[in-house]
Structure 1
Amino acid sequence: MTKKPATRKAGTNGEPKSALTRARILDATAHVLSRKGYAGTRLTDVAAQAEIQAPAIYYYYPSREDLIEEVMWSGITRMLEHVQQVLDELPADTAPMDRIDAAVEAHLRYELGISDYTTAAIRNAGQLPDELRLRYDHETRKYGELWRKLFEDARSSGALRGDLEPTVARMLVMGALSWAAEWWNPRRESLDTVIKTAQSLVRNGLAEPPAAEGDTVRPSAPSRRRRKTSESPA
């Protein structure tokens, strides 16, 4: 599945031409930035993708940096809105690990199959100068909070393995999901395959294994270590 840059025609949906042109410039920038990176993104490439003259970009954005900052901020904001919407549409009694499953799918499907903006944001997050990171970092913290709540709910319900540190586990999962933008090739495996594999790895890595019938629930690893210490002869 290959993402196709959006095409917008002036005068459609009652939008003014200037707003549509601005949107076309942003779409084109997201497309170029997601493929060529921060250092390789040039306004001439953006103009060619948007099918406008390069000097016209300055009518809408004062500089290349302002344009890239807008795309980066939009990328993480749109991801946050998409994943939150998917979670909000789940039944209220959805189990915590099932909610994490849903978030894994929503993240990957949006990152890899829907939005050039999000791909651009993820791939270029480490390349931005500090002055361009303020809005992006603010939205990234909000997105991290969404995932923190998912993991906290899983921990509170007993679904999360007791030997895991939730913050470390969350950061590792989010990092792995985002890194898919760097290596995934739709010609090698389908997006559905990537999603199912990720869900299996995340669930089996995070979830407390169910106790066999007749077995008592085993204490978590830290609890076993504490008990062993207390029972050791003085």
Structure 2
Amino acid sequence: MTKADGAERRERKSDKTRRRILDAAADLLNRKGFDGTRVSEIATLAELRVPAVYYYFDSREAILEEVVNIGDRLAHENVVRRLKELPPDASALDRICAAFAAHLEMVLTESAYTAAAMRTMGQLPADMRARQLDRQRASGRMWRDLIQTGVEAGEIDPELDPRAARMFLLGAVNWATEWWNPARGSLEEILATAQRLVRNALAGPLATASPGTAAAPPAALTPVFAPPPL
């Protein structure tokens, strides 16, 4: 084995250990929240000693902030990916519904990181929350543009406040992780329901579909999640 091979193997082992720490932290954040997650528990779940955790991260807060940042990034990337899969002639409401379904997909089943980020956003210390909001600018612009395009296309009820509508709907989607039970409804069912609710909420009196019209099936929303690059 050459020196280069040895260095590469050590780097791969280091990456795997770092991922174990982050995976453990994401799991605990989902179950115990920001204040309830302890480094000692992260170490136990990752099958490491506490000093080993601090070899990779300077503090508990640094671990948890990285989990939240990864979760936000994964959600944004999945929405962007799903939007690119839509046909060029997709309506503004089609794009908005696909975006909300893609975000919900990550929150519920595809990423413990995203679920942790959504669950703890209101628990973060002020300085961490400020950094998170700064990193979310691109995502915020994307959601604003989606809604604004719908307004300009005449597909969204003009009586709605676009910002309030966007925040209400994102809040509802993010909260789904608190109540959804896969034993009482499949992912496909909840994604279809979410899209129908989003469409009806935004279109309001403009909706032309009859009450019995089925929501567009989220056939494109097959799992695409892969472990986040470190």
Give the corresponding residue for 1:216. Answer: none
C-alpha distance in 2 between matches for 1:74 and 1:111: 13
Residue 154 of structure 2: which of 158, 170, 176 is its match? 158
Question: 8 Å contact 1:25–1:50 — kept in the other structure?
Answer: yes
What secondary structure, in the 3-state scheme, does the structure 1 residue paired with 2:183 have?
coil
Q: Quick one: which amino acid aligns to residue 210 of structure 1? A: T
What does 1:1-234 correspond to in 2, within 5 Å? 16-207=12-203, 208-210=206-208
Count matched residues. 202
- Rg (Cα) greater in structure: 1
Question: 8 Å contact 1:29–1:67 — kept in the other structure?
Answer: yes
Give the corresponding residue for 2:226. Answer: none
Q: CA RMSD in A?
A: 2.1
113-122 or 196-205, larger mean C-alpha shift: 196-205
C-alpha distance in 1 between matches for 2:120 and 2:10: 34
What secondary structure, in the 3-state scheme, does the structure 2 residue paired with 1:178 have?
helix
Deviations 1:62-100 (A, max 9, x none): 110111111111111111111111112222221111111
Q: Which runs of 4+ in 1 moved over 6 A?
A: 11-14
Question: 8 Å contact 1:43–1:64 — kept in the other structure?
Answer: yes
* Runs of 5+ unmatched residues, structure 2: 1-6, 211-230
TM-score, scaled relative to structure 2? 0.81
C-alpha distance in 1 between matches for 2:154 and 2:166: 16
What secondary structure, in the 3-state scheme, does the structure 1 residue paired with 2:182 have?
coil
C-alpha distance in 1 between matches for 2:186 and 2:85: 25
C-alpha distance in 2 between matches for 1:82 and 1:69: 20
Cα deviation, residue 187, structure 1: 2.3
C-alpha distance in 1 between matches for 2:107 and 2:168: 17
Cα deviation, residue 191, structure 1: 1.9
C-alpha distance in 1 between matches for 2:151 and 2:107: 26
Question: 8 Å contact 1:28–1:46 — kept in the other structure?
Answer: yes
187-196 or 64-73, larger mean C-alpha shift: 187-196
- Identity across aligned pairs (percent)? 47
C-alpha distance in 2 between matches for 1:102 and 1:209: 17
Cα deviation, residue 12, structure 1: 11
* Runs of 5+ unmatched residues, structure 1: 1-10, 213-234
Cα deviation, residue 134, structure 1: 3.1
Cα deviation, residue 34, structure 1: 1.3
Q: Quick one: which amino acid aligns to residue 208 of structure 2? A: P
Structure 2 vs 1, CA of residues 211 and 136 (structure 1 numbering), >3 Å: closer, same or farther?
Answer: closer
TM-score, scaled relative to structure 1? 0.80
